[in-house]
Structures are given as structure tokens and as C-alpha cells.
Amino acid sequence: MFTDVTYKVIIKGLRTNVEKEILNGITGLVHPGEVLALMGPSGSGKTTLLNLLGGRLIRSTVGGSITYNDQPYNKFLKSRIGFVMQEDVLFPHLTVKETLRYAALLRLPRALTKEQKEKRAMDIIYELGLEKCQDTMIGGSFVRGVSGGERRRVCIGNEILINPSLLFLDEPTSGLDSTTALRIVQILHEIAEAGKTVVTTIHQPSSRLFHNFDKLILLGKGNLIYYGKAAEAMNYFSSIGCSPLIAMNPAEFLLDLANGNLNDVSVPSELEDKVQVENSEPDSRLDRPSPALVQEYLVEAYETRVAEKEKRKMLAPLMLDEELKSKVKSSKRQWGASWWEQYSILFHRGIKERRHEYFSWLRITQVLATAVILGLLWWRSESGTPKGLHDQAGLLFFIAVFWGFFPVFTAIFTFPQERAMLNKERAADMYRFSAYFLARTTSDLPLDLLLPILFLLVVYFMAGLRLSAAPFFLTMVTVFLCIVAAQGLGLAIGATLMDVKKATTLASVTVMTFMLAGGFFVQKVPVFVSWIRFVSFNYHTYKLLLKVQYNNILPTVKGMKMDNGVVEVTALIAMAFGYRLLAYISLRRMKLSGV
């Protein structure tokens, strides 16, 4: 039940702030077994109302009352509410079955076994008619996958997995053909018939779709124009003098009214009188009521003829299940899995999703081609002469730069690209944020090892670097530490800015500075900027690579003392953890929309 719901936003100007009213006194009630459609033209406030009812907007500028079984919104309700967003937010490289399986493992109650959760995912696949495409990847902009209607059904399946009491959907039929859209609405009706409450926004449904709705709310510029049974909407508007003059889709007729457009619609006598009064004024060119006048008349007509009667209906007591009522009172979160289970599930999901990106032919070709070119340029290089030593130092510095540059510009996209998914899953309380962050930052590590191994297998032996097991292994460890530290920087920049263009610009400047201060181009750095090299992972990686190759052979190389390298290892490990901690704090402090 929602009564006199209002919502305002404050628009900040250069000198003063302006308060804009988005919703004004919206009242309604929807029972289990009913489908309520929120209709209205673009900008009427229907998506805002849906977000308010679904608990996605909880702010001080919200007025009125929203209750669920006579109880206000609380954290427990997140596990009883399904919310399907307008955009299909899914991982493109997971199959339909994998998508629903991971959602089931994370969201279904802990009391269920893994086998029971997986069976529930399969039941949903068959219930939504997805069995033929269950092993097909979801797909995306650059990946071929399932059709638009199938993607939408997967999104709905993600939410009805938890058997929600309430299901909210934001324009579930947008972008779909009429047949597919009808199938989606029929599925919603079947869900409602199972005793659930379904609330959906709809933009411009066909007449067949419109007749599948039980109740209707029609909004116009944030005001309530109609609330009641969808089947009675046409009769109500006829009773206030607004009837279509030609055969018309009911939804199209209602949207025209909400826009204040009376073309091909009879004009009520009260409105005609107002137009005549305004036409009697000098310089008036009105011959039909203006949209503002029409909307004012419709809002006034609803308030005087229907609003009070509907409010009295809502005051009638409802028979509620006392057990459910007591559960709703509970404000305790109910996680579907333990912290460790959440981490494990998210870790495996991350590897499955990103293995395609990591092992694309483009990336493998890029790494191997670079390795071969380096191997040919430094073919059988020697360190016995000063010139040969300088050449080998150049190769080692390039390796430090390459495996510092590459991970930074991969990692900066991580959180900005996954922001929508993070918003969606955190809003549904699918997992603890700490479990997500750790899984997201560690699931890349096994994948990060494979390409550097291929790279070094080619370069190391072609270039004739120190041929024994220990130096090769230590070179591998050094490159891996460099990758982890550089990746941490990329994650921190991406998480702090959450804007790909800004993050790329800042990363470019930072990586270039670290490279120039890396110890190869300039040995004597002015004191006032010398601190830069100590925060540069290129500098520490380069020093370590030199020490691995020339320790116990030469006392100094390029002015650097050949010791055991403990300082450099400590510095790289500190960067790896420090940058990730910064990324974690940035994401924690950031206000994610819809949460």
C-alpha cells in the first residue's frame, strides 16, 4: 500500500537551488495475485515511483507512506522482493544456465543444499521456456548470444528464483516485438496467479498487452490521473467527457490524455467553457484546450470523483498471515551463503566470465608477437662487455615497462564496466561487498600468470639471459609482482574516478611518470622529485630484474648495488596491497545508485 507519495529533487544552480517535484500525492494498493501497470509518457515519474515502491530510492525528500503487509521497508524485504531493471544487466560470456545457477547459489536460502539450488535454477529455465538456449552464451555488444526476448526472460528468471512475494519490473517489454512482449506479459500474469504481486512500468503497450493488466496507474507530470481496474479505465474517462472519436488502442488513448493531447478525443464541456473564457481575452489564439489545462482538468476530476472512494477501499483491513507479518518486522539481513561460499562462487564466476577476454586470439597474438620481436632484437645478447650489458639492461627495463603498462590499462576498466552489475547485485543483497571485492581482485591472478609465462619462455631463451632454473623462476616471480602491483594501481584509479576517460588520462600520465623515473633513462634525479622513483613499480621491478641476472656476478650495474632485493620485493608487495586497499575504500565510500 502507498499513500500520498511525494518525491522532490533539488537542482543545484549557480546561485540558488531549485526544488523540482517529481511525484505529487500518489496513492494506490496492489494485492497478491494482481498485476499493476504504471503508465505515463516519458518524464511522468513512473520509473521513480517504481524505484520508491521497490525500496531503491530511500531519501529524505520522499514523503507519504509505503508499507508492505502493514510494515515499512526494511532489509529483510530485500530477500522477498525481485526487481528487474530496464537494462539487461548480465555477464555476456556466461551461458543462460551458468547465469541462473550462480544467482541461485548466491540468493537462495542457506537451508537448501547446492543440489537443491541448482535444481531450482533448472526449474526456472523450463518454466520460462529457456531450455533450448540454456547452453548458449548471453552475448553482448561484441559477443553473439541469445535473442532480446530470451535475455529479458533470463533477467526475470534471476529475480523469480527466490520466489519473491513482490516482483517489480521497469519496462520489461521495451525493445521487443509485439509477440515476444505479449509472451513476457503472459509470464508476469502466470507469476501473479501463483499468489505473487507484480508491479511493472509500461511505456506504450499494444491493446492485447493492456488487457492483461489487472490494475492501472496513469501518471501525468508526476500527478495521478487514474488509479483503478485497467478494464474500467475507458469507462471512467468516458464518464468525465473524454472519449475516443475513432477506434483506438486503449493505451494510446490514455497516453494521449496524460500528455494533454485531445486530438481525436471528445472535449469535455467544462474544458470547452474554460477555452471560451480564455478566447474572450484580447490576443488569445486558443481554439482547443492547452495540454496544461487538460492535465489540470484530469487531475482535478480524479481527485473529486475517484480519489476519496479509492482511499476508503484501502482502509478496509486485510487478512494477513501472522507468520509472514512477524518475518517482515525483522530487520536482519538473510544471506544466501556464508562469506567463504560467496567468495568461492564469485571467484569461479569471475574466472569463467573473463577467461574469454584473457585468452582472446588478439591478446595472445599481441603478447607473443611482442615477445618474438624482442627475442629477435636481443638475439643471444651478452653481458660480458659494457655495451652488451647496457643492451641487456635495456631489455630488462622494457620487460618492466611492458608488464607495468599492460595490466594498468586492463584494470582501470574493471569497476567502471561492472558498476551496473554491482549496483544491481548489491541492491538485491546477493553478497557481502568484501567477498565481491576479494573475489574480483583475486580471480584475475591465475589468468595473469599464463601470458607472462608464454612471454618469458620466448624472450628469456631467445635473448640469451642467464640460463639456469633459479634466475628464470625469480624473473617470473618478479614480473608477476610487477603485474599485481600495476593491476592494483589500475583498480585504484578506476574505482576512485569511476569514469573511463578520466581514469585513462590519469593512468597515462602516471604510467609515463613511473616509466621515466624507472632508473634507465635518468640515473641522477633531482632531490625534489626523487621520491617518484620509490613509488614507481617500474623502478623496483627493473632493479629486481637486474639483481636476478647479475647478483654475485657484478657488484653494481647502472649505478645500482646488486644485493638480495628484499627492499624491492617489500615495496612491490606493499603497492599491491596498498593500491587495492585504496580501491576498496573508494568503492565503499562511493554512493552506488539504487542502493
Burial label for 222, CB within 10 Å (0-12, 13-18, 19+), is buried
Q: Does residue 334 lie in a domain region? A: no
pLDDT by residue (tens digit) across 91-148? Answer: 999 999 999 999 999 999 999 999 999 999 999 999 999 999 999 999 988 889 999 9
**Which residues in 465-502 are b (16+ Cβ under 10 Å) and which e?**
bbeeeebbebbbebbbbbbbbbbbbbbbbbbbbbeeee
Whether residues 490 and 544 fall in one domain? yes
Strands 223-229 and 215-220: antiparallel
Residue 110's closest CA among 326, 333, 328? 333
294 belongs to a structural domain: yes
Strand partners, 184: none
State whether 258 and 390 are in the same domain.
no
Predicted local confidence at residue 172, as pLDDT? 94
Percent of the chain at pLDDT above 90?
60
What pLDDT score does 52 carry?
92
Predicted local confidence at residue 281, as pLDDT: 54
Residue 516 shares a structural domain with residue 468: yes
Q: How far apart are CA 58 and CA 52, in angstroms?
A: 7
Same domain, yes or no, for 458 and 550? yes
Read off the pLDDT of residues 193-226 as tens digits, 9 standing for 90 and up: 999 999 999 988 889 899 999 999 999 999 999 9
φ, ψ for residue 24, nearest 5 deg: -135, 100
Residue type (1 letter), 9: V
Residues 223 and 96 in one domain: yes
**What are the angstrom distances between the C-alpha of 142 and each of 22, 145, 447?**
37, 10, 21
Per-residue model confidence as pLDDT tens digits over 23-74: 998 999 999 999 999 999 988 999 999 999 998 887 667 888 888 888 888 7
Task: Please tell me which residue, 180 or 277, carries the higher pLDDT value.
Answer: 180
Nearest Cα neighbor of 372 from 463, 291, 266, 437 is 463
* Region of 222 on the Ramachandran plot (φ > 0 left; ψ -120 to 50 alpha; else beta): left
DSSP states along 318-383? ----HHHHHHHH------SS-HHHHHHHHHHHHHHHHHHHHT-HHHHHHHHHHHHHHHHHTTT--S
Residues 439 and 318 grouped into a single domain: no
Query: Angle of helix 339-358 relative to helix 444-462, nearest 10 degrees?
Result: 40
Q: What is d(CA 77, CA 74) in angstroms, rounded to the nearest whole number?
A: 6
Shared domain for 283 and 312, answered yes or no, is yes
257-269 pLDDT, tens digit each: 999 888 888 888 8
Residues 313 and 355 in one domain: no
Residue 63 lies in a domain: yes
Say how many domains are in the chain. 2
On whether both 449 and 300 belong to a single domain, the answer is no
Can you tell me the mean pLDDT for 494-519?
Answer: 94
pLDDT per position as a tens digit, 366-404 = 999 999 999 999 999 988 788 888 899 999 999 999 999
Answer whether residue 455 shows pLDDT above 50.
yes
191 within some domain: yes
User: What string of DSSP letters covers 66-79?
Assistant: E-BTTB---GGGGG
Cα 192 to Cα 122, 195, 213, distances in angstroms: 21, 5, 10
Note the pTM of the prediction, 2 decimals: 0.88
Final residue in a domain of this structure, among 329, 353, 382: 329
pLDDT above 80 for 322: no
Range 555-560 average pLDDT = 75
* Neighbour count for residue 373 (Cβ, 10 Å): 12
Ramachandran assignment for 397, one of left (phi > 0), alpha (psi -120 to 50 degrees), beta (any other) = alpha
pLDDT confidence of residue 396:
95
End-to-end Cα, the chain, rounded Å? 22
Percent of the chain with pLDDT over 70: 93
The answer to whether residues 246 and 264 touch, using CB atoms and an 8 Å cutoff, is yes
Domain for residue 594, yes or no? Answer: no
Last residue of a domain, one of 329, 351, 367: 329
Range of the domain at 10: 2-329
Q: Are residues 400 and 373 in the same domain?
A: yes
Average model confidence (pLDDT) across the chain = 88
* Predicted pLDDT of residue 39: 96
Q: Which of 329, 356, 391 is the last residue of a domain?
A: 329
Q: Which CATH number fits the domain that encloses residue 117?
A: 3.40.50.300
Q: Is the pLDDT of residue 279 over 70?
A: no
pLDDT tens, position by position, 337-376: 999 999 999 999 999 998 888 888 999 999 999 999 999 9
Verify that 315 and 368 share a domain, yes or no.
no
Mean pLDDT of 171-196: 91
Q: Is the pLDDT of residue 309 over 60?
A: yes
C-alpha 322/C-alpha 98 separation (Å) is 37
| Domain-embedded: residue 119 | yes
Residue 595 lies in a domain: no
d(CA 233, CA 243) in angstroms, rounded, equals 11
Residue 12 has a pLDDT of: 78
Same structural domain for residues 320 and 358?
no
